[in-house]
Chain A
Amino acid sequence: MAGVSSQQSVEELPYKLTLKVPFETARQALIASQTLSPDPILKGNELDVTYDAEDTTLLLKFSGISDRVIRVAISNVIDNLKTIVECIDEFDGKKDVLFEEE
């Protein structure tokens, strides 16, 4: 979970979007959640974002003060999420390799 606002309750952020993203395994969903969650929410009184992994599904909940605020947040988070998905696709399950400095 990230970005729980202290200045404004979620009830005062009426524009909401929930994104459900299924993964192949619960571990992948957890990796995605833990990778996204350190990203700080800059305006906690205008936006709240939570990241949760429920079994194999990543659950992203956005609550904002306006459509504009959640549009910016959602598009940024999806951009980051696509990078995470690509990394998992490239590296998950592969053997660790140590690269020697030339």
Chain B
Amino acid sequence: MTLIPTAEYTAPDVPEGRKFYPGDGEHTTYGHTTQISDVVIKAGGEDRDRPSEAKDTPLGHLRAKLTTIQDQVNVFLTERMKQENLKLSGKEEEDIERRILDDGVDEDDVE
């Protein structure tokens, strides 16, 4: 028996939706987005909360595939959050420029 988790995301700007499948690759219980930070790992730190290896059972494989889906969703949503922040910071710059041009506000006066 193969147990395959799936996910589907929708948002106002993604009405067609985005689907997530774990795929055929190798799956592990050690997620890239849930482990300790790279800085700590490079400094020789040990992840004491490292999850146990997946057992060779249908539920063991399900746990590993859930980790893959979790990574996919985390990476996707984090990237969207970054894009949103870029849009917001760009808009702030536009607002400052507009205020300077329209109102004659000195750029040095803008925080």
Interface residues of A (CB under 8 A from B): 14-24, 67-68, 70-71, 74-75, 78-79, 81-82, 85-86, 88-89
Contacts and interface: CB of A to CB of B under 8 A. Distances in A.
Interface in B2-59: 3-12, 29, 33-34, 51-52, 55, 57-59
A78 B63 contact: no
Given A16-B9, A71-B81, A82-B29, 17 more contacts: A15-B9, A16-B10, A17-B10, A20-B5, A21-B3, A21-B5, A21-B66, A22-B4, A22-B62, A24-B3, A67-B81, A71-B73, A74-B70, A75-B34, A75-B74, A78-B66, A78-B73
A17 B72 CA distance: 13
Contacts, number: 85
A3 to B, nearest CB: 18
B34 A18 contact: no
Query: What band does the interface of chain B fall in when counting residues whose beta carbon is under 8 Å from A?
Result: 20 to 34
27 contacts: A14-B11, A15-B9, A15-B10, A16-B9, A16-B10, A17-B7, A17-B10, A17-B73, A18-B7, A18-B8, A22-B4, A22-B62, A23-B59, A24-B59, A67-B11, A67-B84, A71-B73, A71-B74, A75-B73, A75-B74, A78-B66, A79-B70, A82-B29, A82-B63, A82-B66, A86-B63, A89-B55
Given A21-B5, A21-B66, A24-B59, A75 B10 contact: no
A67 B77 contact: yes
Contacts of A16: 9-11
A67 B33 CA distance: 16
A19 B77 contact: no
A23 B3 CA distance: 7
Contacts of A89: 55, 57, 59-60, 63
Contacts of A85: 59, 62-63, 66
Contacts of A22: 3-5, 62
